[in-house]
Amino acid sequence: MKAVTVESIPHYINGEKVEGKSNRYGAVYSPSTGQKIATVAYATKEEVDETVRLAKKAQIEWAKTSVGKRVQVLHKFRQLLVEHTEEMAQLIGKENGKTISDAKGEISRGIESVDLAIGAPHLIKGEHSVNVGGDINSYSMKQPLGVVTCISPFNFPVMVPLAMSTMAVAVGNAMILKPSEKVPCSALFISELWEKAGLPSGVWNVVNGDKDTVDAIITHPDIEAISFVGSTKVAEIIYETGTKHHKRVNAFGGGKNHMVIMPDADIDKAVDSFIGAAYGAASQRCMAISVAMPVGEKTARVFTEKLKAKVENLKVGTYDDEHADFGAVISAEAKQSILQSIDDAVKEGANILVDGRNPEVENNEGFYLGPTLLDHVTPEMNMYKEEVFGPARIIVNVDTIEEAIHLINDHQYGNGVTVFTNSGSHARKFTQEIEVGMVGVNVPIPIPVGYHNFGGWKGSRYGEGQMFGPDTARFFTKTKTVSERWFDLDDKDSETNFDFPSS
């Protein structure tokens, strides 16, 4: 096999690439080849402390910068993202394994968050009331929190960091990003674009690391807010630890997203929609459809037959294979976990309709799994209860829309859900009664556009912040309310009043 040059990925601190000082390193692998492509240093507590110190200093001046000048930097940053889309897509494919076309879609969605942040002047406007009583005017202002941090996952190396961080920078905070140690290259590339855009040194920083690094971040007294995306188990720990240390936290976890197919739905459209939403990016999306839930025996029979035929024809391949529908999973450990979930489901009574456990791939040393489809799955099985972050999808049959709603509402996750129907009454009933944060009607992946709020319910999110949309401006700012009165210089009367003030 051809030898691969192994890079050393530095941190990005105070406008400079900084080599790690710890003796702890992680290996970065290309999922498509299984080869090691980089090493990344894990930051120590001392390195985190120094980064926070420098970010805090830079934030003071950045907050004083007019919002108009901040937006000028964002405009340039957006332009650079567009200009370097091809380069970033190749980088994402190399370290994440997703196809180039999928990577470009990710970048495009990330740019939506920049578009929203460019509108920060509107989103951080305060309120003003004249003469609320006693010649007093009241007004409010939105001010940045200070130093904030984002801890991002491996599955969206560009989109999620942009969605989590751009508004924070736009409203005057300094940012410390801790990317997944599996995909550090994309974060470094984003840092270089911020530098080219003219962002002052120290406002944007990247520290790489593992759990020890994260612990240093989420307990640091000078970090004001944490935004996290990852597994539900870790999200809960981040939320509990961060809030215990008096931080504002939003922590987004996993999902088990259902697609309900009603008897009146266009079955062909439902099948095509399920295919892309379920298996795209090797199913490594928190908003991927995990469960097909056809309503009624006839719907189940027709849907399953058509779905099986199409799943069998899906192709898994390298990230740069133009004919591949999706690529490898992120690691050998992830592959083994997915295989174990499939095996356990079969032992519990599930039936494999399409078996992707041993796909034929030209480069079979990568972390490949083909599309797998199981039916005869029941809500009691672990395959239904737990999130499976890989291309193994399931069918759960129900008799009525009421049964579908009950099962979905009873699930521990509440990230996304969709219903396929041509009935307005069914759609209305579903959208009103379902207990899930993001709902689609004839939309396969109900992830909102960048100017609408993103966030699941139940075990899919801890905290009240959002990742997309105007709530990001609220999450990364604090409100100060001022009541002011100016005395008439000719008025010499003065008196003391012990009554509680009122209008």
Domain of 235? Answer: 9-253+460-481
Q: CB-based contacts of 313: which residues, under 8 Å, 6+ apart? A: none
State the CB neighbour count (10 A cutoff) for residue 333: 10
As a whole number, mean pLDDT of residues 311-323 equals 95
Nearest to 217 by CA among 11, 483, 422, 423: 11
Give the pLDDT of residue 111.
Answer: 96
- Answer whether residue 48 is part of any domain: yes
- Answer whether residue 493 is part of any domain: no
Give the pLDDT of residue 6.
Answer: 64
Please report, for the domain that includes residue 290, its CATH number: 3.40.309.10
Residue that has been written with the tokens 């990344």 in this structure: 40
Phi and psi at residue 119, to the nearest 5°: -85, 15
- Answer whether residue 496 is part of any domain: no
Number of domains in the chain: 2
Q: Facing residues of 258 across strands?
A: 291, 417
Same domain, 82 and 215: yes
Give the pLDDT of residue 456.
Answer: 80
CA-to-CA distance for 160 and 38, rounded, in angstroms?
A: 22
Residue 455 has pLDDT above 90, yes or no: no
Give the pLDDT of residue 364.
Answer: 76
Same domain, 246 and 337: no
- Answer whether residue 495 is part of any domain: no
- Answer whether residue 454 is part of any domain: no
Residue 332 has pLDDT above 90, yes or no: yes
As a whole number, mean pLDDT of residues 364-392 equals 95
As a whole number, mean pLDDT of residues 128-152 equals 92
Give the pLDDT of residue 500.
Answer: 73
pLDDT, the chain, mean: 93
Residue 3's pLDDT band (boundaries 50, 70, 90)?
A: very low
Same domain, 76 and 192: yes
Give the pLDDT of residue 1.
Answer: 38
- Asked if 179 and 205 touch (Cβ cutoff 8 Å), the reply is no
- Answer whether residue 123 is part of any domain: yes
CA-to-CA distance for 68 and 74, rounded, in angstroms?
A: 10
Same domain, 266 and 247: no
As a whole number, mean pLDDT of residues 369-391 equals 96
What residue type is 249 in one-letter code?
A: V
Which tens digit of pLDDT belongs to each residue from 183-215? 999 999 999 999 999 999 999 999 999 999 999
CA-to-CA distance for 239 and 247, rounded, in angstroms?
A: 9
Which tens digit of pLDDT belongs to each residue from 306-315? 999 999 999 9
Same domain, 54 and 104: yes
Residue 407 has pLDDT above 50, yes or no: yes
Same domain, 396 and 317: yes
Which tens digit of pLDDT belongs to each residue from 269-301? 999 999 999 999 999 998 899 999 999 999 999
Same domain, 261 and 363: yes
Same domain, 418 and 469: no
Nearest to 277 by CA among 264, 260, 293, 290: 290
Residue 225's pLDDT band (boundaries 50, 70, 90)?
A: very high
- Answer whether residue 499 is part of any domain: no
Which tens digit of pLDDT belongs to each residue from 342-351? 999 999 999 9
- Answer whether residue 390 is part of any domain: yes
Same domain, 54 and 96: yes
Residue 21 has pLDDT above 70, yes or no: yes
As a whole number, mean pLDDT of residues 167-193 equals 97
pTM exceeds 0.85: yes
CA-to-CA distance for 118 and 75, rounded, in angstroms?
A: 7
Give the pLDDT of residue 283.
Answer: 94
Residue 318 has pLDDT above 60, yes or no: yes
Which tens digit of pLDDT belongs to each residue from 360-376? 887 778 999 999 999 99
Give the pLDDT of residue 5.
Answer: 59
Give the pLDDT of residue 298.
Answer: 97
Same domain, 285 and 347: yes
Residue 234 has pLDDT above 70, yes or no: yes
As a whole number, mean pLDDT of residues 482-493 equals 81
Query: In the chain, what percentage of residues exceed pLDDT 90?
Result: 83
Residue 116 has pLDDT above 60, yes or no: yes
Give the pLDDT of residue 503.
Answer: 67
Name the active-site residue from 55, 117, 286, 447.
286
Same domain, 133 and 163: yes
Q: Is 286 in the active site?
A: yes
Give the pLDDT of residue 2.
Answer: 46
- Provide the CB-side half-sphere exposure for 473 (13 A, CA): 23
Please report, for the domain that includes residue 68, its CATH number: 3.40.605.10
Same domain, 341 and 294: yes
